[in-house]
Amino acid sequence: MPELAVSDLHKSFGDVHAVNGLDLTLAEGEILALLGPSGCGKTTTLRLIAGFDRPDQGTIVLHGRDLLPLPPEKRKIGFVFQNYALFPHMTVAQNIAYGIRYAPRHTERVRELIVLVDLSGLERRYPRELSSGQCQRVALARALAPQPRLLLLDEPLSALDAKLRESLRREIRRIQQEVKLATLHVTHDQDEAMAISDRMAVMHAGRIEQIGTPSEIYSHPESAFVASFIGHANVIAGTITSVSEERLEMDASGTMLRAAASGRDFHPGEDVLLFCKEEKLRLADDGQKTVSARVIIAEYHGETVIVHLESRIGPLRLRMPAGMASNMSAGMQVSVCLPPEECDVFPQKTLS
């Protein structure tokens, strides 16, 4: 039995279907990242699960218990917001104790939590005397204090700088594994989602478009939306010219491109989009089907370089090790190859 089972969840605000038939399960101790563009319904989903809003339709069951009749405080859910929402007039210890202040032995529990989130020595400080990373640790400890069955994290790291975000996401993972708590982590940052989660769910227009391990989602996107949202893909529009059991051929502005067959049905004449991740595009070797292109700019990103190209099939980006890109300069002519086995093709009409 899953720890959390959400099915056929709907919530509209006027004409906006913020959540539109969402299904989701979460196993005990699992961390699932809910990832999607702004406005796709991530926060609304969390708010419905937490009980801050009522769904129009659907069920939410946590550890076998129907949550809908229960108010937020009875749902056994911990919530961490983007902006910490700490009480400014309370110390670290008082903030953490807030939800358990009438429970027996709460001082001992607060002490344990302070060690767990690595805030020893800061118990008597006020939020204004803490860094933003420390504030978020207090918020996490406060959410964990009543021993919830489920933890909801709504973009908890987005207000922090890049370095702190990385270290705190490792901390969240460590703490989550230590307390073995089912956790739903909302983010729009795909690196964060991949780094932190056991599985990730890509959300689009109020529902889950694909759910799987980070490597499944990255390597095998099942829709044009997921292929365009995850990874950094080149997107090339074209028309199918032939279909066989092993491969597809398409025409893109007069250039023939191939992709390995994926099991999806296509027919000649169908308008499609071909996706090829920027690190999969290669400078061509002899004998390969190639596309000629001109270098616009080579952008340095530490160990890798992204080469921006202009070609007949449209703009392309190629990511390569910095050591191999030293001779790439604006105006240079190159031939690139889109390896068929690294290309995903989807009907054009599905990207809406």
Please, which residues have CB within 8 angstroms of residue 234's CB and are 6 or more apart in sequence?
Answer: 275, 276, 277, 278, 281, 315, 316, 317, 338
Minimum gap (Å) between residue 226 Cβ and ligand ATP: 16
Q: Which of 8, 28, 39, 191 is close enough to bind ligand ATP by CB under 6 A?
A: 39
- For ligand ATP, the closer CB: 39 or 268: 39
Site membership for ligand ATP, residue 13 (CB under 6 A): yes
Site membership for ligand ATP, residue 127 (CB under 6 A): no
Minimum gap (Å) between residue 154 Cβ and ligand ATP: 8
Total of residues contacting ligand ATP (CB under 6 A): 12
Minimum gap (Å) between residue 151 Cβ and ligand ATP: 17
Minimum gap (Å) between residue 11 Cβ and ligand ATP: 8
Provide the mask over 145-184, with x wherever binding to ligand ATP is found by CB under 6 A and - wherever it is not.
----------------------------------------
- For ligand ATP, the closer CB: 15 or 286: 15
Q: Which of 8, 16, 312, 324 is close enough to bind ligand ATP by CB under 6 A?
A: 16
- Residue with token string 């300069």: 329
- Which pair of tokens denotes residue 212? 């799987």
Site membership for ligand ATP, residue 308 (CB under 6 A): no
Site membership for ligand ATP, residue 54 (CB under 6 A): no
Site membership for ligand ATP, residue 40 (CB under 6 A): yes
Site membership for ligand ATP, residue 188 (CB under 6 A): yes
Q: Which of 4, 6, 9, 18 is close enough to bind ligand ATP by CB under 6 A?
A: 18
Site membership for ligand ATP, residue 43 (CB under 6 A): yes
Please, which residues have CB within 8 angstroms of residue 281's CB and are 6 or more apart in sequence?
Answer: 234, 316, 317, 318, 319, 336, 337, 338
Site membership for ligand ATP, residue 95 (CB under 6 A): no
Site membership for ligand ATP, residue 42 (CB under 6 A): yes
Choose the binding region for ligand ATP from 41-49, 67-75, 138-146, 230-238 (rule: CB under 6 A): 41-49
Tell me if 183 sits within 8 A of 31, measured CB to CB: yes
Site membership for ligand ATP, residue 87 (CB under 6 A): no
Tell me if 236 sits within 8 A of 314, measured CB to CB: yes
Q: Which of 24, 30, 35, 36 is close enough to bind ligand ATP by CB under 6 A?
A: 36
Choose the binding region for ligand ATP from 42-50, 54-62, 84-92, 248-256 (rule: CB under 6 A): 42-50
Minimum gap (Å) between residue 47 Cβ and ligand ATP: 8
Site membership for ligand ATP, residue 190 (CB under 6 A): no
Residues forming contacts to ligand ATP in the complex (CB under 6 A) are 13, 16, 18, 36, 38-44, 188
